Structures are given as structure tokens and as C-alpha cells.
């Protein structure tokens, strides 16, 4: 009864609009007090803030966020889009396909999905509208392409999962590479199918000479340098994710200096935005730890694991139900909040079923991408709507074909876990 009361209290606090961090901290504290009185509550509240903030891996979050700020400042995303357009812009729907490629490239140097969506909306969307693309198609591909930053390293979502699940962040980041490429191909194929079925929705583009194509690759160089500085050093074992995040932020700053975009005011804005976002994430983790202590003390995870293990269903069927639950939660909750709320409870069940925690982490993040573009809380769609000033209903309809393609990718990765685990297994 106590657990049900605390869960109901958490639900009420979230429904009335209390921030997730406060909701988890307050409901967890009330549960701890009712369970063991003030001694347990005061002991946990006096030690949890320090243990939460004193994690070495936690440094990766502000560093990667700062790197993303410098990347946006330097204008690399615009260069990526222009280069991709030159290479694939000739075919019908080519600029939309170039948006997916640019989204993957931006995802490789930024861990923020909403930042990626905003950047693509500011760069590729006006170009597509100008060329005569149907706004529904253009907005849909921009919104879904922004989600690639959640999966392709450096991914803040994967880092958070690694901290919560206490598994290798390096293996998680490397494990996201191949699924990220598969999702990119799925977006491109979806656009290709859409323009075949409705050719009036996208015009054909202009062709470019080979000289122009190879000249455009010069602007892709900074992105490759950043990608090698982060993913390359992690995969080769030269640097840990924490060290790679610092290297990436430093190189991104040098790129912003080279482009003459770094001034005292822009530097201050980048530092302020990074600090605000990092503090928000850290506070959410702190609240999750308080709530997690209550869940652990009351043995909810143990009882739930034993109950699920006793169900007359195959492990893969139970995993399918878990993923459907994540998709439904994504309709109503922020993806980071979902990870922090569910991973401590669901992961023991997943391990008891015999699944790999690295595979599960990547699958959960791929599933969370669906929530970024589905109503009523599809954050990326809201970001795109702000730039296009188009009706939300139209944009949600435009992104639905990509959602179905995403579900196919999730099924593929679930049935063939080796797709995710192959690269991590080759790491030194």
C-alpha cells in the first residue's frame, strides 16, 4: 500500500506541473519518511547530493553540452547540410534526404535532440520550403532527423543510461553507431517512398559537377575531426568518455574561434546555457536517486522481477511488452525523465530475463526517439512548428511515416541484438 501511495503521489505531482526532479525527490522523501521515519530520511538526504555530483562520469554531460553549444556557434551544421545537398540534391526529394544525412552528421558532434532539430529547422527547412517542398514532408523529415542526436555518439541519453545502469558508457556510445546509421537509412528510404507515391510533394533538384562535390567535402572536415576526437578515441581506447568529452569541447571551441564566431558575449552565452542544462539534468538525477532509494528499500524491483520471471511468456514477448510501455510513456513524458524513472525498476527485470544491458540501453534510446515526434509531447515537432509556423496537426501527420519506419527498425534491433553488440565487442 505504501508503494502505491507514493506512486500515486508522484503521478499527482507530475500532473499538476511540478518539475520531474521535485516530483521524484518529494515523493521519494515522503515514502522514506513513512517507511523508516526521520533517521532514514535524514541519512539519505545528507549523503545523496554529494554522491550524485561526485561521479567522475558526470563530467561528460556538461562537456558534451558545451561542445554542442560551440558546434552550433561555429556553423558546422549549415556546412554539413550544404555538402549533403550537393551530393544527393539532384534526385527528387534530395534536399530532404540531405537533411537526414546532415542530422546524422550533427548527431555525431552533438548529444542534444532538440538542439539538432532547431538547427536543422533553421538551415534545411527554409531551403526546402523555398524549393517547393510540401511543408508537411519538410517538417516531418526535420523533426525525425533531429532525433538522431539521441542515438549517435556523443549521446546525453546514452550517458545518462550508463550512469543509472552502472554499465560501460564507452560500450554504449559505440553501440549506438550502427543503429544510428540504420535509422538514417530508414529516414532516407521513407522520403524516397513518399516522393514516389506523391511526386508533387517534392521537386527534383539541380545537379552538381564532381568538382563541386569534392570541393564541398572541405567543409565536412571539421565534423570528421570532431567525430574522430570523440568516437575514435573512445573506440581505440585512447581516451575514456569523460576525457573525450573534454577533448571534444576544446576542439569545438577552436573551430568556433577559427570561424571567428567566438566573442566574449557568445562565449558567456554558451557557458551559461551549458551550466543551466547541466544543472537541470543533475537535479533530475538527484531526485531520481532519492526516489530510487525508496524503491530499493521497499524491494519493489525484486518483487517485480520475480513476478515477471514467473509469467508464462517467452522472454522476447516480455521485452516486447516493455518496449510498448516505453513507447506509450513517450506520448506523455520527457525522454530523460522516462529513463531516470524506469531504468532502476526495469533493468533488474531485463537482466533476470537474460538480456544484455548494453543492448537494452541502445534499444530504449531508439524507442525514446519515437516519443520525441509523437503527440501530445513531441518536443521536436514543437521546435519545428516554431520555425515553420505551420499547424501542429499537419506536422504530426508529416512525421507519422517516419514513426512507422522507426518501429520497423526497433523490431529489427530487438530480433537481432548482434547489430548493436558487434562494435562494442571489438573494442580493446
Q: Which phi-psi region, left, alpha or beta, contains residue 263 (left: φ > 0; alpha: ψ -120 to 50)?
A: beta
Cell 519515437 maps to which residue?
A: 370
Q: How far is CA 224 from each of CA 1, 61, 364, rounded to the nearest angstrom?
A: 55, 21, 27
Q: 229-280, pLDDT tens digit by residue?
A: 887 888 788 888 888 888 888 988 888 888 888 888 988 988 898 888 788 7
Q: Please answer whether residues 26 and 1 qualify as being in contact, where contact means their C-beta atoms are separated by less than 8 angstroms.
A: no
Q: What's the pLDDT band for 112 if we cut at 50, 70, 90?
A: low
Q: What's the pLDDT band for 332 if we cut at 50, 70, 90?
A: low
Side-chain half-sphere CA neighbours of 14 within 13 A: 17
CA distance 275 to 64: 11
- The pLDDT of residue 273 is 83
136 vs 340: which has the higher pLDDT = 136
Of 7-16, 136-145, 344-353, 387-396, where does mean pLDDT reach its minimum?
A: 387-396
218 vs 192: which has the higher pLDDT = 192
Residue 200 confidence (pLDDT) above 60: yes
Q: 11-64, pLDDT tens digit by residue?
A: 788 778 777 778 878 888 888 888 878 887 788 778 777 776 777 667 887 888
CA distance 406 to 325: 16
Question: pTM score > 0.85 for this model?
Answer: no
- The pLDDT of residue 117 is 76
Calculate the average pLDDT of the chain. Answer: 81
Q: Please answer whether residues 140 and 399 qualify as being in contact, where contact means their C-beta atoms are separated by less than 8 angstroms.
A: yes
Q: What's the pLDDT band for 321 if we cut at 50, 70, 90?
A: confident
Amino acid at each position: 500500500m505504501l508503494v502505491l501511495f507514493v506512486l500515486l503521489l508522484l503521478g499527482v505531482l507530475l500532473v499538476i506541473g511540478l518539475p520531474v526532479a521535485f516530483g521524484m525527490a518529494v515523493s521519494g522523501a515522503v515514502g522514506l519518511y513513512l517507511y523508516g521515519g526521520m533517521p532514514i530520511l535524514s541519512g539519505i538526504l545528507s549523503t545523496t547530493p554529494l554522491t550524485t555530483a561526485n561521479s567522475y562520469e558526470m563530467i561528460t554531460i556538461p562537456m558534451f553540452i558545451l561542445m554542442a553549444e560551440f558546434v552550433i556557434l561555429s556553423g558546422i551544421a549549415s556546412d554539413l547540410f550544404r555538402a549533403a545537398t550537393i551530393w544527393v540534391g539532384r534526385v527528387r526529394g534530395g534536399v530532404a534526404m540531405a537533411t537526414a544525412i546532415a542530422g546524422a552528421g550533427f548527431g555525431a558532434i552533438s548529444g542534444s535532440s532538440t538542439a539538432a532539430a532547431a538547427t536543422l529547422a533553421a538551415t534545411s527547412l527554409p531551403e526546402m520550403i523555398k524549393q517547393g517542398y510540401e511543408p508537411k514532408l519538410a517538417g516531418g523529415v526535420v523533426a525525425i532527423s533531429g532525433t538522431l542526436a539521441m542515438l549517435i555518439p556523443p549521446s546525453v541519453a546514452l550517458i545518462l543510461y550508463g550512469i543509472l545502469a552502472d554499465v560501460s558508457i564507452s560500450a554504449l556510445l559505440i553501440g549506438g553507431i550502427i543503429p544510428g546509421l540504420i535509422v538514417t537509412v530508414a529516414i532516407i528510404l521513407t522520403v524516397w517512398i513518399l516522393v514516389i507515391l506523391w511526386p508533387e510533394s517534392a521537386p527534383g533538384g539541380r545537379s552538381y559537377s564532381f568538382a563541386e562535390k569534392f570541393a564541398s567535402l572541405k567543409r565536412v572536415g571539421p565534423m570528421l575531426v570532431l567525430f574522430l576526437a570523440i568516437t575514435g578515441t573512445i573506440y581505440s581506447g585512447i581516451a575514456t568518455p569523460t576525457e573525450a568529452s573534454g577533448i571534444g569541447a576544446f576542439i569545438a571551441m577552436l573551430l568556433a574561434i577559427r570561424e571567428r564566431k567566438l566573442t566574449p558575449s557568445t562565449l558567456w552565452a554558451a557557458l551559461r546555457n551549458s551550466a543551466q542544462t547541466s544543472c537541470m539534468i543533475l537535479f533530475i538525477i538527484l531526485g531520481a536517486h532519492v526516489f530510487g532509494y525508496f524503491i530499493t528499500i521497499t524491494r519493489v524491483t525484486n518483487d517485480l522481477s520475480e513476478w515477471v520471471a514467473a509469467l508464462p511468456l517467452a522472454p522476447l514477448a516480455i521485452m516486447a511488452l516493455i518496449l510498448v510501455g516505453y513507447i506509450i510513456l513517450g506520448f506523455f513524458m520527457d525522454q530523460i525523465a522516462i529513463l531516470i524513472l524506469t531504468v532502476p525498476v526495469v533493468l533488474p527485470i531485463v537482466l533476470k530475463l537474460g538480456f544484455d544491458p548494453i543492448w537494452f540501453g541502445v534499444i530504449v534510446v531508439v524507442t525514446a526517439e519515437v516519443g520525441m515526434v509523437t503527440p501530445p509531447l513531441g518536443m521536436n515537432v514543437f521546435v519545428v512548428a516554431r520555425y515553420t509556423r505551420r499547424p501542429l496537426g499537419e506536422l504530426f501527420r508529416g512525421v507519422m511515416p517516419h514513426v512507422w519506419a522507426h518501429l520497423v527498425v526497433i523490431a529489427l534491433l530487438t530480433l537481432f541484438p548482434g547489430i548493436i553488440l558487434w562494435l562494442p565487442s571489438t573494442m580493446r
